[in-house]
Amino acid sequence: MSLEDLNNQILKCERCALCQTRKNAVPGEGSSKAEIMFIGEGPGKNEDEQGRPFVGAAGKLLDKLIALIGLTREDIYIANVVKCRPPGNRDPLPEEVDSCRKWLDKQVEIINPKIIVLLGRHSMDRFLPNQKISLDHGKPKRLKGQVYFPIYHPAAALYRNGLLEDLEKDFKKIPRILKMIEESKIKTEKKVKQVKLEI
Ligand code: URA
């Protein structure tokens, strides 16, 4: 199945109650051949209205961070754990995350990125449960052959002093981690294991 076909299915999804309150489902956007995939939590008000991910204030910051590593949105792929806006921007419920599970898994399978950048706690929980974003941000992990890189959510950096500095620092590691993956310096591990980076 192509990414386009998959995303067309997501647009019509009625697997959970969020379909009743959404204006638009937000499948994601970017290159289907992206080496880097960013995964946020879920659409907010602006995203719900436009049907596009990260188009509000957090999205503007994400664009700046992407530019910081010499890339644009066309080079990467941006998706979310849940594809429809939780009312009032509440956290997605576990059953909503579960309903969206097959969509996100299929997107990852089709895009097959070298690295998945997990934006914030909810995105990290979805792939790397039982970790703490305040402790584990900026540390790449390999799990079942896939490299994950948890970092703070751009929205958190907008309202919490000090996080922006960490977020920029972590973001700047992305090209080096990619290079290490390409050079196969990161060894496959059976369990979640912190990759030792010489940076
Ligand atoms: N926050 C998210 O997690 N995702 C979006 O698409 C926008 C804001």
CATH of the domain at 152: 3.40.470.10
Angle of helix 3-11 versus helix 94-111 axis, rounded to 10: 160
Q: Say how many Å lie between the CA of residue 63 and the centre of ligand 1.
A: 12
**139: part of which helix (H) or strand (E)?**
none
How far apart CA 48 and CA 125 sit, in angstroms, is 23
pLDDT in tens, 91-140: 999 999 999 999 999 999 999 999 999 999 999 999 999 999 999 999 99
Q: In what order do the strands lie in the sheet with 36-40?
A: 29-30, 77-80, 36-40, 115-119, 146-151, 141-143, 193-194
Place of tokens 């009312």: 87
pLDDT tens-digit profile of 51-72? Answer: 999 999 999 999 999 999 999 9
Q: SS3 for 15?
A: coil
The residue among 110, 114, 146, 120 whose CA lies nearest residue 9 is 110
- How large a percentage of the chain has pLDDT more than 90? 90
Average the pLDDT over 63-90 and give the result: 98
- Which 3 state secondary structure label does DSSP give 94? helix
Ligand 1, pocket-test mutation among 24, 37, 41, most atoms within 8 A of CB: 41
Residue 21 has which token pair?
Answer: 């309150």
pLDDT tier at 161, thresholds 50, 70, 90: confident
> Model confidence at 46, in pLDDT bands (50, 70, 90)?
very high
CA of 112 to the centre of ligand 1 (A): 21
Q: What is the pLDDT, as a whole number, of residue 165?
A: 97
Give the mutation target among 24, 26, 38, 47 for probing the ligand 1 site: most ligand atoms within 8 A of CB. 47
pLDDT bucket at 192, cuts 50 / 70 / 90: very low
Ligand 1 pocket, CB under 6 A: 40-44, 47, 53-54, 58, 80, 155
Work out how many domains the chain is built from and give that number: 1
**Cα(54) to centroid of ligand 1, in Å?**
5
